[in-house]
Amino acid sequence: MEFRYLGHSGLKISEITYGNWLTHGSQIENDVATDCVHAALDAGITTFDTADVYANTVAEQVLGDALAGQRRESLEIFTKVYFPTGPKGHNDTGLSRKHIMESINGSLTRLGTDYVDLYQAHRYDYETPLEETMQAFADVVRSGKALYIGVSEWTAPQLRAGHALAKDLGVQLISNQPQYNMLWRVIEPEVVPASEDLGISQIVWSPIAQGVLTGKYLPGQPAPEGSRASDKEAGKFIERYMNEDILTAVQNLKPIAADHGLDLAQLAVAWVLQNPNVASALVGASRPEQIAGNVAAAGVTLDDAAMHAIDAVIGDLAEQDASLTKSPETRVS
């Protein structure tokens, strides 16, 4: 496993982060989830990402149980706050001081730890003053309940404003967690340049486009039974990719992957890690054996010829419209 610094901080994280969105507490049984976490540890992954909203807090509990007994100092544990949890009352959502303070306490209890390494704003809150949000995050850090703060799916102007407030408050905003893959590149025009200026790294989710970049979805054929695309809820996240042009292009990436001794999923993960502003790629697993395949992408170097070949195959199919990040995202990720 290779490690990278997260933003302009001294915190190193594994190039592959294990995330439990859509799996723990929902898609797989707890014993399988535990086996997946242990497989991640065995593969050298030290960084684990979750959120209070995943499976309505259950995912945090499952992850905490799976990590019990591990040396805490050897792990980097991340979680997030924003989306509604519990009974979903009028103060059970957003980035108000009340919700942040109550949520961090609940997350720590479920995770079985005294602190998280990174506490993240799961989305931007358009209804709460940013000053209130950042003051609350600063107080969480000063209380020792989090070491650093990050955000998820924030635009470039939002990152700049949040970073300035954090700096004034004496805390470090060091990360953003956006969707990013060969087919979804909307962070490249604005978010990445702003992040580079500010000393913020990306921890990217969906590096294999919710499974589309594995090549398991074939043009002209129905989605395999039991796959994410065949699931009514999970399928919402990949419907934009399920067209003949994209599925055909993905199949055409196979020779490039083979030339580098990779399968398509490994090629996709390696591709996002070529971006120097990306500190880690978030991957999940529903079976322990999937972990080793993902980890094989760590440390892989794709030369310019390979990157150009990928662009030639994907061509205009990759979404790069930065305006798509400018409206509030309501879906959990």
- Spell out the residues 6+ positions from residue 242 whose beta carbon is closer than 8 angstroms to its own: 212, 217, 223, 229
Does the active-site annotation cover 54?
yes
Give the 3-state secondary structure of residue 252.
coil
Element (H, E) at 246: helix 244-251
| 199/211 Cα distance (integer angstroms) | 30
Cα atoms found within 13 Å of the Cα of residue 307, Cβ hemisphere only: 12
CA 271 to chain centre: 15
Q: Is 259:306 a contact under the CB 8 Å cutoff? A: yes
DSSP class of residue 273 equals H
Which amino acid, residue 257?
A
Cα atoms found within 13 Å of the Cα of residue 124, Cβ hemisphere only: 19
Out of 18, 54, 180, 241, the active site residue is: 54
CB count, 10 Å around CB of 236? 12
| 48/226 Cα distance (integer angstroms) | 26
- Spell out the residues 6+ positions from residue 39 whose beta carbon is closer than 8 angstroms to its own: 285, 288, 289, 291, 292
Among 317, 311, 181, 210, which residue's Cα sits nearest to residue 256? 311
Active site residues: 54
